[in-house]
Structure 1
Amino acid sequence: MTNSDHTPRWGRRRLLAALTGAALLAVTLIAGLGYLLVDAVTGPATATPVQASLKAVSAAAPERRDQLAAAPMLKVDPAAGRKGTPAATSSPAIAVPPATREGPAGVPSGFLRTPAGAVGQLAAIDTTVVAAMSVDRTREIHRAWALPGAPAVGRWVMTDNVRAFLAAAGPAAPAGAPPAVVAIPAAGQVKGTDGPSWVVACVLLRVDATIARTATIAYGHCERMQWNDDRWQIGPGAQPATAPSTWPGTDLAASAGWLAWAETGQG
């Protein structure tokens, strides 16, 4: 199996299954959101001992970077991204520095050259893509933020997500009322690092979409982030293994390695 086999994709089969037995408007909305979860639904939650050892790994060769990116993460049930019982105790947090300027393609930028800064930059890229929910804007953002050797725009998971959501939501959107989609970072984690300029960064988004009514899911996404041209960008190599999409603030989210999002100052 290649790394690309882990890439989340919204398949037509899952769209048809989701539409069965429900009102078209509501289910189309939920289906369009739900396909963010496709490769995170391969079975019940199972532990992944490899993940715990990745935090402190320093890789020197491209092969090690591939190993860090491809290492499997916790597999969760599809329902894990739609709801969950809050944990009895608060989870540890990841202190994410804020953006300090507007970057190319209108994406917030200026994040620190730290692993947490890479997480912040990935979240800024993702939330800008989701808020626009436009194939043209997705191409523009990819062109500005993906380094040579990164997944091409036609194979980028966020392009697949946008296209599938638009396909699912289009027929159900009332005239003059296009879908409104908002993504908010809820948690993050650093899966692995290779010195100060390379990070496998992961972000867990809370995604709210409205087409006459609102549906909400949680969506986990990882990318290879590489420091280049004084900013974090999407680095070369295959798409990392699928991140677990778990409801933020639950015991399962903590088991999956997610740290609560805490934006900090520049200190």
Structure 2
Amino acid sequence: MGNGQAWSRTKIVAILVAAAAAALTLVGGAVAAVVLALAPADEPTTGAQPGPTPGGQGPGGPGAVGRDAIAAAPMLPVSPADATGGAPSTTLPGTIFVPNPTEVGPARVATGFPSTPQGAVGQLGAILVDVVQTMSIPRAHEVHRAWTEPGAGPAKDWVMTQNVAAFLDGAGLSGQEAGTRARVEAVPAAAQIKGVDGDDWVVVCVLLDMTASIDRTIDVAYGHCERMTWQQGRWVIAAGDPPAPAPSTWPGTDLAADAGWLTWQPETP
């Protein structure tokens, strides 16, 4: 679980340099560094191709081979700039209706989602929001321990743990937690179901609209995919190599639609 969608150290450095220049005119210094780790990698990443394959068994047939093919299928290439803005589309986007959580589960993460692909979307969204908003390496370990199946790999290699570490490092925050020194808010803006194999396994992707603040505020989009499996009445992150990186595109743009993102709409209670 250590490769895939990690935030780019090179991008962090570039933004820090730009922020330092901005400090000449901005009260509070080089605080634009907050965008740092939230930016996608400098090289184009891959994102969802239009027309995911829910309901199928993957190009390799049922079982592990088919599941690996679903997870590894390349997605639409995007650039780092696509995560930070874009003209609103004049076309109405597709919508995915996501169930609402009904209870608090292990490690105090919202849960109670049904055993449907849309339920897996909701559960992944709850996991990601918790880790991103906390920006704590110990918390990432706790969430990983509670929300992965055996064999999913150690928490230190989970891409989200590495992202938290990159954020703390790039922002110049000492220790393993942001605490009150930085504020990060994350809201699921869009999602997609990349592929399904049976009733208990799916690859889903969530696009977060993230706002990070130290002395000033930066907005950036971040897409993330995971294998999810239904175990003991809840969705958890499944074992296996990480899926191909999701496209980090500005929500509501034509490119976001081309990448397969559907606007996140909570189901009506």
TM exceeding 0.5: yes
Q: Which structure 2 segments of 5+ residues have no match?
A: 21-28
* SS of 2:172 mapped into structure 1: helix
Kindly tell me: are residues 244 and 110 of structure 1, through their superposed partners in 2, closer, same or farther at Cα, counting changes over 3 Å?
same
8 A Cα contact 2:47 2:245, kept in partner = no
Residue identity opposite 1:30 in structure 2: V
* SS of 2:228 mapped into structure 1: strand
Give the counterpart of 2:169 among 136, 159, 167: 167
Q: Deviations over 1:26-79 (max 9, x none)?
A: 331121322xx12xx53399995xx63623422512011000001111110111
Matched, 1:15 2:12: yes
Matched, 1:219 2:222: yes
Residue identity opposite 2:115 in structure 1: R
Kindly tell me: are residues 66 and 144 of structure 1, through their superposed partners in 2, closer, same or farther at Cα, counting changes over 3 Å?
same
> Structure 1 stretch 14-23 or stretch 226-235: which is displaced more?
14-23
Kindly tell me: are residues 128 and 4 of structure 1, through their superposed partners in 2, closer, same or farther at Cα, counting changes over 3 Å?
closer
Give 1:30's aligned residue.
35
8 A Cα contact 1:208 1:215, kept in partner = yes
Give the counterpart of 2:134 among 115, 132, 135: 132
Residue identity opposite 2:211 in structure 1: D
Give 2:209's aligned residue.
206
> Structure 1 stretch 25-34 or stretch 181-190: which is displaced more?
25-34
**Cα distance, 1:8 vs. partner?**
2.0
Residue identity opposite 1:212 in structure 2: D
> Structure 1 stretch 96-105 or stretch 53-62: which is displaced more?
53-62
Residue identity opposite 1:57 in structure 2: G
Q: CA RMSD in A?
A: 2.2
Give 1:254's aligned residue.
257
> Hey, what's the Cα distance between the residues in 1 that align with 2:81 and 2:9?
19
Give 1:121's aligned residue.
123
**Cα distance, 1:118 vs. partner?**
0.3
Give 1:90's aligned residue.
92
Residue identity opposite 2:10 in structure 1: R
**Cα distance, 1:196 vs. partner?**
1.3
Give the counterpart of 1:194 among 194, 197, 210: 197
For residues 147-186 of structure 1, the aligned pairs below 5 Å read 147-171=149-173, 177-186=180-189
The TM-score, its normalising length taken from structure 1, stands at 0.88
Give 1:42's aligned residue.
43
The TM-score, its normalising length taken from structure 2, stands at 0.88
Give 2:232's aligned residue.
229
Q: Deviations over 1:162-215 (max 9, x none)?
A: 01101112359xxx9510111000000000001111010100000111101110
> Structure 1 stretch 14-23 or stretch 183-192: which is displaced more?
14-23
> Hey, what's the Cα distance between the residues in 2 that align with 1:47 and 1:32?
22
Q: Deviations over 1:68-108 (max 9, x none)?
A: 00111111011100001110021010000000000100100
Larger helix fraction of residues = 1
